[in-house]
Structure 1
Amino acid sequence: MKDFTKELSFKASRSSGAGGQNVNKVETSVTVMWNVEESEFFNVFQKNLIQTKLKNRINSEGILQLTVSESRTQFQNKKIAIEKILEIVNDSVVIPKTRFKTKPSKAKVQKRLDSKKKLSDKKENRRFKF
């Protein structure tokens, strides 16, 4: 997990929604911004991975933005925003393992056929015969 917090920039704004006495005065909502192309922590291949997997979250200038207003304090929101952006980016860099098709073994196939035959014989024996 790469820690690129030095490249992050922050902007505070007023949180939306219902609130108390401080709702129109205190800027507690935090927007974290990170320029993907100018990052020095990731190589070109990883940057391309990030840009393709997070293309819906990256704006036209190539900046990944995330806004957090979960907590009542700016400090707590900043902490949450850092954790979230690190998690999102590091998850996008992971390449999933390729899945190879497998066949059931001959013994498993034979066992399945035997159980089908056994059930078929059982049902056949229940029939009323003249």
Structure 2
Amino acid sequence: MSGIPESNDDLMAECDVETLSGSTKGGQRANKVETGVRLTHRPSGTVVTARRSRSQFRNKALAVAELRRRLEEAARPVKVRRPTKPTKGSKRRRLEAKRQRSEKKANRRPPEV
């Protein structure tokens, strides 16, 4: 990988970890226990929050996985689009189809007197 640490421990060393109480399943327990995790990746400034689980440990693992996915996506090079032109054959086929469609519609009209 380009610049992204291989292990989760190395990646966590580059992050600020903040715990927060999360609105999740668990009701009163979830409201008073800080199970949510917010990771801020210092080098890139990417912020990831995980509150899905009742477990802080599980939320931390989910946040690290999401952070890794976002960093890999950001490191992927953008594919350059090369403009193309229609071939002569495709132009000919398109114009022929348009001519046939025009003739078909012209034949539907009542004859001119």
Aligned to 2:85: 103
What count of residue pairs does the alignment treat as equivalent?
A: 105
Instruction: Report the Cα distance in structure 1 between the residues aligned to 2:42 and 2:72, rounded to whole angstroms.
Output: 15
Q: What is the TM-score normalised by the length of structure 1? A: 0.67
Q: What is the TM-score normalised by the length of structure 2? A: 0.75
* Aligned equivalent of 2:96, options 114, 119, 123: 114
Question: Runs of 5+ in structure 1 lacking a partner?
Answer: 37-50, 52-57, 59-63
* Conservation of the 8 A alpha-carbon contact between 2:24 and 2:52: no
Query: Structure 2 vs 1, CA of residues 100 and 24 (structure 1 numbering), >3 Å: closer, same or farther?
Result: closer
Deviation of the 1:119 alpha carbon: 1.7
Question: Runs of 5+ in structure 2 lacking a partner?
Answer: none
Aligned to 1:76: 58
Structure 1 residue ranges (4+ consecutive) displaced by more than 4 angstroms after TM superposition:
16-19
* Aligned equivalent of 2:36, options 29, 47, 63: 29
* Conservation of the 8 A alpha-carbon contact between 2:39 and 2:48: yes
Q: Percent identity?
A: 32
The DSSP-based 3-state class of the residue aligned with 2:97 is helix
Structure with greater helix share of residues = 2
Instruction: Report the Cα distance in structure 2 between the residues aligned to 1:14 and 1:124, rounded to whole angstroms.
Output: 71
Q: Deviations over 1:50-106 (max 9, x none)?
A: x5xxxxxx2xxxxx3322111111111011101110011110111121101111110
Aligned to 1:91: 73
Instruction: Report the Cα distance in structure 2 between the residues aligned to 1:125 and 1:25, rounded to whole angstroms.
Output: 78
